[in-house]
Amino acid sequence: MYAILDIESTGGKYNEEGITEIAVHRFDGRQVVDKFICLINPEREIQPFVAKLTGINNKMLRSAPKFHEVAKRIVEITDGAVLVAHNAQFDYRILRTEFRRLGYDFQRKTLCTVDLSKQLIPEAESHSLGKLARSLGIPMSDRHRANGDALATLKLFKLLLDKDSDKKIITEITREETHGELSPNQLDMVFNLPSETGVYYMHDKDGEIIFLGKTKNIKKRVNQHFTNVGKLARKLQKETKKVTYETTGSELIAILKAYVEQKNNKPRYNHVSKKKLFSHTIDFNQNGTEHIILEVEKNRSLEHKKMAFNGTQSAKSFLNKVSSEFELCPSSLGTENECLHQETELSASNCNERVLSAFEKYSIQEKNIALTDQGRETGERSFILIKNGRLQGFGFVELNHQINNIHILESIMTPMRSDENTTFIVETYLRKNNRLKTIQLTT
């Protein structure tokens, strides 16, 4: 017996959410034998983005029953059944949280149709409920409402049951009752983490780092590791006994630290590629002409006057961006032979100056600069030191500190080894983010 479940919640902080709507269809493998659909007063505010997504607002729920008034019905309709939901660990966690507030330990086995569809329909472009239903021709109505999503999940589940001819996958994926919940130890680990930008380290029982990552929200990201499904998530959930972290304030510092420290520490579950992070470059060629021509080439080496990109599309998007920003001549992009400014005396020279200006803005080559960003706390700024176009290290200074003195920055920074990948990381970040402040330094 199965209980096809979908829940809409208020959103908000982890384990502080409330249920706003629930739909349960009791399914015997052939037909629905019972169903329960109900709006619920969560006794807390709905997050605005959730109200916009679902169409459920606080006013609609004022006269709806509270969870304790429908709890018995939910227990009865799910009794002896396996809960089936799309992203089951989320619905199960929310449901258990509501029951826990009533002092009741609600336990059921669960099946996740995300897992099942990945196993049985691996060729699908997306395994989100909406896109998967559309690709399979499953009709959907009332999207992001409990009953609409529950009915779509029911139809998807029927299809998956048909595909699972030997029934092995359903047996393997059936969860233990507490799956999707954090263990007491994991709850303690997550509780003590900050919701800040930085690098986190997951340790095994011997203290060895088994995984390290960078993120803009350490608490949220580690919590995802502990609640996600998949081979890596399950290994981390089983083996992680401690989580440590370093806040950086700056996302770019976190990215650089994670890259360098993964290479140095080689954690068991990090994939550390020995290859270059980029596959293509934009090269500056003249090919016997007056104009500097920007050309995209497949290249895993950075030389003078080259910028690196991960793929041709990324490189072409950058060319389109600077072409508009600096009003580059088509001849500089190799798309036309004749210069648009050929009637000007210094046409080629002017076009070349614009190309070099674009390169100057988005490249760190040959520069002595400090890239500053927000710090770890109020009154602090982070910095990344670039000397002769190479990454030197990073550090933190107070706002009233002498930040334009390269010798002071060198004395207080944490050194970081530079290579072509770190240059690629910094320049890629410069192309996508305008929050960094660039300070010119003199040696």
Q: Look at residue 323 in the predicted model and tell me its pLDDT.
A: 85
Q: Look at residue 29 in the predicted model and tell me its pLDDT.
A: 77
In which band, very low, low, confident or very high, does the pLDDT at 55 lie, cut at 50, 70 and 90? confident
Query: Where are the domains positioned within the chain?
Result: 2-173, 184-265, 280-362, 369-440
Q: Look at residue 109 in the predicted model and tell me its pLDDT.
A: 86
Contact 42, 10 (CB under 8 A): yes
Q: Look at residue 345 in the predicted model and tell me its pLDDT.
A: 46
Residues facing 247 on adjacent strands: 198
Asked if the model's pLDDT at residue 186 lies above 70, the reply is yes
Asked if the model's pLDDT at residue 173 lies above 70, the reply is no
Asked if the model's pLDDT at residue 48 lies above 60, the reply is yes
- Mean pLDDT for the stretch of residues 345-373: 82
CATH number assigned to the domain with residue range 2-173, chosen from the 4 options 3.30.930.10, 1.10.240.10, 3.40.50.300, 3.30.420.10: 3.30.420.10
- Mean pLDDT for the stretch of residues 120-145: 82
- Mean pLDDT for the stretch of residues 111-123: 85
**Candidate ranges 76-90, 182-196, 270-284, 328-342; pick with highest mean pLDDT:** 76-90
321 CB-near residues (< 8 Å, 6+ apart)? 431
Q: Look at residue 130 in the predicted model and tell me its pLDDT.
A: 85
In which band, very low, low, confident or very high, does the pLDDT at 284 lie, cut at 50, 70 and 90? confident
- Mean pLDDT for the stretch of residues 352-365: 84
In which band, very low, low, confident or very high, does the pLDDT at 406 lie, cut at 50, 70 and 90? confident
- Residue 55: C-alpha distances to residues 94, 186, 230 (Å): 20, 34, 32
- Mean per-residue pLDDT of the chain: 84
**Do you know the residue count of the chain?**
443
Residues facing 370 on adjacent strands: 385, 439
Asked if the model's pLDDT at residue 340 lies above 70, the reply is no
Q: Look at residue 335 in the predicted model and tell me its pLDDT.
A: 57
Q: Look at residue 255 in the predicted model and tell me its pLDDT.
A: 95
Q: Look at residue 334 in the predicted model and tell me its pLDDT.
A: 60
Asked if the model's pLDDT at residue 6 lies above 50, the reply is yes
**pLDDT above 70 coverage of the chain, percent:** 88
Q: Look at residue 166 in the predicted model and tell me its pLDDT.
A: 57
Place domain 184-265 in its CATH homologous superfamily: GIY-YIG endonuclease (3.40.1440.10)
**Candidate ranges 95-104, 209-218, 371-380; pick with highest mean pLDDT:** 209-218
Asked if the model's pLDDT at residue 296 lies above 70, the reply is yes
Q: Which two tokens stand for residue 93?
A: 């966690």
Q: Look at residue 115 in the predicted model and tell me its pLDDT.
A: 85
Please tell me the least confidently modeled range out of 7-21, 187-201, 401-415.
401-415
| C-alpha–C-alpha distance, residues 316 and 320, integer Å | 6
In 3D, which of 168, 262, 138 has the Cα closest to residue 210?
Answer: 262
Q: Look at residue 251 in the predicted model and tell me its pLDDT.
A: 95
Is the alpha carbon torsion for 120, 121, 126, 131 positive or negative?
Answer: negative
- Mean pLDDT for the stretch of residues 156-169: 72
Residues facing 386 on adjacent strands: 369, 391
